[in-house]
């Protein structure tokens, strides 16, 4: 059950009746204190620590408990965990107005034009994929030190001109707010705080190259050692991989992770499993993911694509093969796809070309050769300099096809 910072006075009669009639109330100390005087016969059970491992025993001991949580328990809340644990049919959620909705109401921002980002118990860099000129974000925070840290993070990445409004204790008599530019926001606030961001770039030209979800960012959008799919070819591959919200990619032979990371940046909740044999590059993928605010969405397996057991990886919606290309790997990747899954592979060698042509003969799809030339200085003039030509296959698995 959701309960606001205004406690008992903010509850309607139906939720008051549930609390008053409960045999067991479960929640944090703050929530239990708010309602304890109105449920004198109830057993008060505080959250165990650590929380997640203890929940099955808690449910077994108190299957009919009323669980108290802040605002909307399905917005980065405990109700989501309970639904995952016992199933939606055993959980009845009674939401209150969430802090994000109250913050939008104070700002006068519509739900349609506002993105809600949670950093509760997470890295503040989770906001980074959502930054774009004119964007409006409501950021759920862990504590009163986070608004200043968020301001410093925005400033570090060129968004110091953003207006940051911290709002705390929304809906209670202790409600307060403070608005400053992100690069000036230095003081802590009370806890139970959210941040409202009206995003503005310090230098619009400096952010233009990396803003937005469309793939094809410059090579220096990540740290790398030169082993990465270049931007024009990368954009072509991702256009055929078709990132969608919540979809999962395998990046086999991931190098420094450019395709994997742009997959995640292109669609909300998109995730990836990278297989990379070089341990240094594998760690660089993890570091790049964290720096882009994608921690938790990028899993890296250190291993050779030829020997890694693909059956142990989460089922993919799409597969990109950028390294270690051979017919056996293509066969194993293809057989791992569900119906409707997409395979894209790139080759730059004659042997790789032969493998892609053989795969095309068996599964069809598109075979494309990509040749890119860039103008570079030649003395006082410019001259076209070609990059290495890339052969690309893009194929969609259909239900009726032979798995090999």
pLDDT over 90 at 239, yes or no:
yes
Domain presence at residue 211: no
Mean pLDDT, the chain, rounded, equals 93
DSSP letter at 247 equals -
Same domain, 359 and 278: yes
Domain presence at residue 213: no
Alpha helices (H) in 36-77, listed in sequence order: 51-61
Name the nearest CA neighbour of 326 among 350, 352, 364: 352
Residue 235 banded pLDDT, cuts 50, 70, 90: very high
Same domain, 86 and 112: no
Which are the contacts of 88, defined by CB distance < 8 A and separation ≥ 6? Answer: none
* Per-residue pLDDT reduced to its tens digit, 199-210: 999 988 777 777
pLDDT at 157 (0 to 100): 92
Which are the contacts of 12, defined by CB distance < 8 A and separation ≥ 6? Answer: none
Sign of the four-CA dihedral 15, 19, 20, 23: positive
Domain presence at residue 404: no
Same domain, 82 and 103: no
Bigger pLDDT: 167 vs 75:
167
Residue pair 222/258 in contact (Cβ under 8 Å)? The answer is yes
Same domain, 185 and 223: no
pLDDT at 257 (0 to 100): 95
Arithmetic mean of pLDDT, 28-57: 91
Residue pair 260/249 in contact (Cβ under 8 Å)? The answer is yes
pLDDT at 402 (0 to 100): 53
- State pTM to two decimals: 0.87
pLDDT at 210 (0 to 100): 77
Residue whose tokens read 């200043």: 148
CATH no. for residue 111?
A: 3.30.950.10
pLDDT at 381 (0 to 100): 95
* Per-residue pLDDT reduced to its tens digit, 47-96: 998 888 999 999 999 999 999 998 889 988 899 999 999 999 999 999 98
Domain presence at residue 164: yes
Domain presence at residue 124: yes
Lowest-confidence pick of 212-216, 249-253, 346-350: 212-216
* Per-residue pLDDT reduced to its tens digit, 277-332: 999 999 999 999 999 999 999 999 999 998 899 999 999 999 999 877 889 999 99
Residue 123 banded pLDDT, cuts 50, 70, 90: very high
Name the nearest CA neighbour of 65 among 48, 90, 40, 85: 90
pLDDT at 404 (0 to 100): 47
Same domain, 84 and 104: no
Same domain, 223 and 354: yes
Arithmetic mean of pLDDT, 6-24: 91
CATH no. for residue 51?
A: 3.40.1010.10
Domain presence at residue 377: yes
Same domain, 53 and 192: no
- E strands, 109-225, are 115-118, 136-140, 163-168, 176-181, 193-198
Same domain, 285 and 385: yes
Alpha helices (H) in 39-96, listed in sequence order: 51-61, 78-86
Q: Which of 90, 124, 139 is the last residue in one of the domains?
A: 90
How far does Cα 307 stand from its chain's mean position?
29
Same domain, 201 and 224: no
How far apart CA 355 and CA 294 sit, in angstroms, is 33
Same domain, 228 and 373: yes
pLDDT over 80 at 339, yes or no:
yes
Q: Which of 70, 90, 110 is the last residue in one of the domains?
A: 90
Same domain, 336 and 229: yes
Q: Which two tokens stand for residue 92?
A: 């009845």
Residue range of the domain that includes 195: 99-206
How far does Cα 204 stand from its chain's mean position?
25
- Count of the separate structural domains present in the chain: 3
pLDDT at 57 (0 to 100): 93
pLDDT over 60 at 385, yes or no:
yes
Domain presence at residue 294: yes
């Amino acid at each position: 059950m959701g309960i606001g910072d205004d406690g008992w006075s903010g509850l309607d009669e139906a939720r008051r009746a549930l609390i008053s009639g409960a045999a067991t109330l479960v929640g944090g100390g703050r929530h239990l204190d708010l309602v304890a005087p109105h449920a004198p016969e109830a057993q008060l059970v505080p959250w165990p620590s650590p929380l997640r491992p203890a929940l099955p025993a808690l449910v077994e001991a108190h299957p009919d408990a009323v669980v108290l949580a802040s605002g909307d328990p399905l917005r980065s809340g405990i109700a989501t965990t309970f639904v995952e644990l016992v199933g939606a049919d055993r959980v009845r959620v009674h939401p209150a107005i969430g802090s994000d909705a109250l913050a939008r109401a104070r700002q006068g921002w519509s739900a349609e034009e506002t993105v809600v980002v949670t950093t509760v118990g997470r890295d503040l860099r989770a906001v980074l994929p959502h930054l774009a000129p004119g964007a409006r974000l409501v950021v759920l925070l862990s504590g009163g030190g986070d608004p200043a840290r968020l301001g410093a993070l925005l400033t570090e990445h060129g968004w110091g001109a953003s207006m940051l409004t911290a709002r705390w204790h929304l809906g209670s008599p202790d409600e307060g707010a403070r608005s400053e530019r992100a690069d000036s926001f230095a003081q802590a606030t009370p806890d139970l705080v959210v941040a409202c961001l009206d995003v503005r770039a310090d230098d619009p030209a400096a952010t233009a190259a990396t803003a937005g979800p469309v793939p094809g960012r410059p090579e220096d959008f990540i740290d790398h050692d030169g082993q990465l799919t270049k931007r024009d070819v990368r954009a072509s591959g991702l256009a055929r991989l078709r990132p969608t919200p919540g979809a999962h990619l395998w990046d086999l032979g991931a190098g420094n992770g450019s395709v994997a990371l742009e997959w995640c940046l292109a669609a909300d909740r998109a995730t990836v499993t990278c297989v990379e044999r070089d341990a240094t590059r594998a760690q660089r993928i993890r570091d790049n993911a964290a720096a882009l605010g994608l921690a938790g969405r990028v899993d890296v397996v250190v291993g050779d694509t030829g020997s890694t057991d693909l059956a142990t990886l989460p089922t993919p919606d799409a597969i990109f093969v950028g390294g270690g290309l051979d017919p056996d790997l293509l066969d194993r990747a293809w057989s791992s796809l569900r119906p409707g899954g997409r395979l894209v592979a790139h080759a730059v060698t004659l042997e790789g070309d032969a493998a892609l042509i053989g795969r095309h003969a068996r599964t069809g799809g598109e075979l494309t050769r990509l040749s890119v030339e860039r103008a570079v200085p030649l003395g006082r003039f410019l001259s076209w300099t070609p990059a290495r030509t890339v052969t690309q296959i893009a194929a969609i698995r259909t239900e009726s096809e032979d798995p090999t």
